[in-house]
């Protein structure tokens, strides 16, 4: 969470002018994504001032204006917000892994799959994006499968009718398969095919790619192959119904929690 009243956020339309007026600030600006930016590939930025020295900070007049405004906002807030006034140049959270999977907390129920992707340290994940640091292709493959999506549809909360993904209820309670080396390698292969299919359409956002009416045939095919590979890792038939998937996942969960 930023907890800054927008003072550390730089909108896309202000980015060029901000840098022009305060050139030193450029090295302290990173992409900033919450759900809307992630799903729709919208540019937005933030001041990322972790490790900045006081003299460097004071040498950037526009940045200092934002930092002072952030401090005032935090001082006038609730007690927990007031504590953050001691570090007005920092967002509330300063976790920024080198590479991580990003999972949007909210996603349309009309999508067969929640769009998930890797981001790196050049992007700051804001409130609304859950992150899985150190994830590998295998983890991506399982999380973007119909097995995991069946679990999401069964246990996730809802915001209106949209999926509301959570770390505690959805991710932490999901029972992963125990694949053989061959099965794990197959999931890694099919997961890579999903990424390759996406890369065929570099100008398309996740909103474009995962709309059921506009989803590219290559991407749909890659997902189906990945679904089959993940089912195989569980020892289930590839044409298993979603209700059976959910029932079997709950059985596995019960065995682990007894």
Q: What is the pLDDT of residues 18-69, one digit of tens each?
A: 999 999 999 999 999 999 999 999 999 999 999 999 999 999 999 999 999 9
Average pLDDT of span 148-165 = 94
Same domain, 17 and 142: no
Q: What is the pLDDT of residue 31?
A: 97
Confidence of residue 94 (pLDDT cuts 50, 70, 90): confident
Asked if residue 93 is part of any domain, the answer here is: no
Same domain, 150 and 222: yes
Same domain, 50 and 119: no
CA distance 33 to 132: 15
Same domain, 26 and 78: yes
Residue 4 to residues 67, 230, 231, 250: CA-CA distances in angstroms? 9, 42, 44, 41
Q: Is the dihedral of CA 57, 61, 63, 64 positive or negative?
A: positive
Asked if residue 67 is part of any domain, the answer here is: yes
Same domain, 109 and 231: yes
Q: What is the pLDDT of residue 14?
A: 97
Q: Across the chain, what does the average pLDDT equal?
A: 96
In the block, tokens 């493959």 appear at 141
Residue-wise pLDDT for 165-221, tens only, equals: 999 999 999 999 999 999 999 999 999 999 999 999 999 999 999 999 999 999 999
Count of structural domains within the chain: 2
Contact 74, 84 (CB under 8 A): yes
Contact 84, 3 (CB under 8 A): yes
pTM of the model: 0.92
Same domain, 113 and 230: yes
Q: What is the pLDDT of residue 93?
A: 87
Same domain, 41 and 104: no
State percent of the chain over pLDDT 70: 100
Residue 41 to residues 36, 199, 207, 242: CA-CA distances in angstroms? 8, 14, 9, 30
Q: What is the pLDDT of residue 95?
A: 84
Same domain, 227 and 125: yes
3-class secondary structure, 211: coil
Same domain, 69 and 31: yes
Using alpha carbons only, how large is the chain's radius of gyration in Å? 21
Asked if residue 2 is part of any domain, the answer here is: no
Q: What is the pLDDT of residue 1?
A: 76
79, pLDDT greater than 80: yes
Asked if residue 75 is part of any domain, the answer here is: yes
Same domain, 121 and 43: no
DSSP code for 131:
E
Antiparallel, parallel or unpaired: β 123-125 and 29-33: parallel
**Structural domain ending residue among the three candidates 86, 110, 129:** 86
Asked if residue 227 is part of any domain, the answer here is: yes
Q: What is the pLDDT of residue 2?
A: 83
Confidence of residue 127 (pLDDT cuts 50, 70, 90): confident
Q: What is the pLDDT of residue 243?
A: 97
How deeply is 49 buried, as exposed, middle or buried, from its count of CB atoms within 10 A (0-12, 13-18, 19+)?
buried
Please give the residue range of the domain that contains residue 54: 9-86
237, pLDDT greater than 90: yes
Identify the H or E element spanning 44: strand 44-47
Same domain, 58 and 172: no
Same domain, 178 and 225: yes
Helix segments in the chain, DSSP class H: 12-21, 35-40, 54-58, 61-75, 79-82, 137-143, 146-155, 181-199, 206-209, 217-234, 242-257
How deeply is 13 buried, as exposed, middle or buried, from its count of CB atoms within 10 A (0-12, 13-18, 19+)?
exposed
Asked if residue 4 is part of any domain, the answer here is: no
């Amino acid at each position: 969470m930023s907890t800054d009243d927008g003072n550390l956020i730089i909108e896309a339309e202000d980015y060029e002018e901000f840098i022009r007026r305060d050139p030193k600030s450029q090295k302290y600006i990173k992409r900033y994504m919450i759900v809307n930016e992630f799903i729709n590939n919208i540019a937005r930025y933030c001041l990322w001032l972790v490790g900045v020295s006081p003299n460097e900070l004071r040498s950037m007049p526009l940045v200092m204006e934002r930092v002072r405004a952030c401090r005032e906002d935090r001082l006038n807030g609730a007690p927990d917000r007031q504590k953050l006034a001691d570090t007005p140049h920092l967002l509330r959270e300063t976790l920024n892994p080198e590479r991580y999977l990003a999972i949007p907390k909210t996603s349309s129920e009309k999508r067969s799959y929640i769009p998930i992707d890797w981001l790196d340290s050049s992007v700051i994940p804001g409130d609304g994006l859950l992150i899985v640091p150190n994830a590998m292709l295998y983890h991506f493959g399982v999380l973007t499968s119909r097995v995991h999506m069946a679990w999401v549809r069964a246990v996730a909360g809802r915001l209106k009718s949209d999926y509301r993904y959570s770390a505690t209820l959805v991710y932490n309670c999901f029972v992963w398969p125990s694949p053989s080396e061959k099965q794990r390698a197959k999931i890694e292969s099919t997961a890579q095919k999903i990424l390759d299919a996406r890369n065929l359409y570099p100008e398309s956002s996740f909103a474009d790619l995962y709309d059921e009416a506009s989803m590219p045939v290559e991407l749909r095919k890659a997902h189906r192959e990945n679904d089959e590979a993940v089912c195989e890792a569980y020892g289930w038939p590839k044409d298993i119904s979603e209700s059976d998937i959910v029932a079997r996942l709950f059985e596995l969960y019960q065995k682990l929690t007894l």
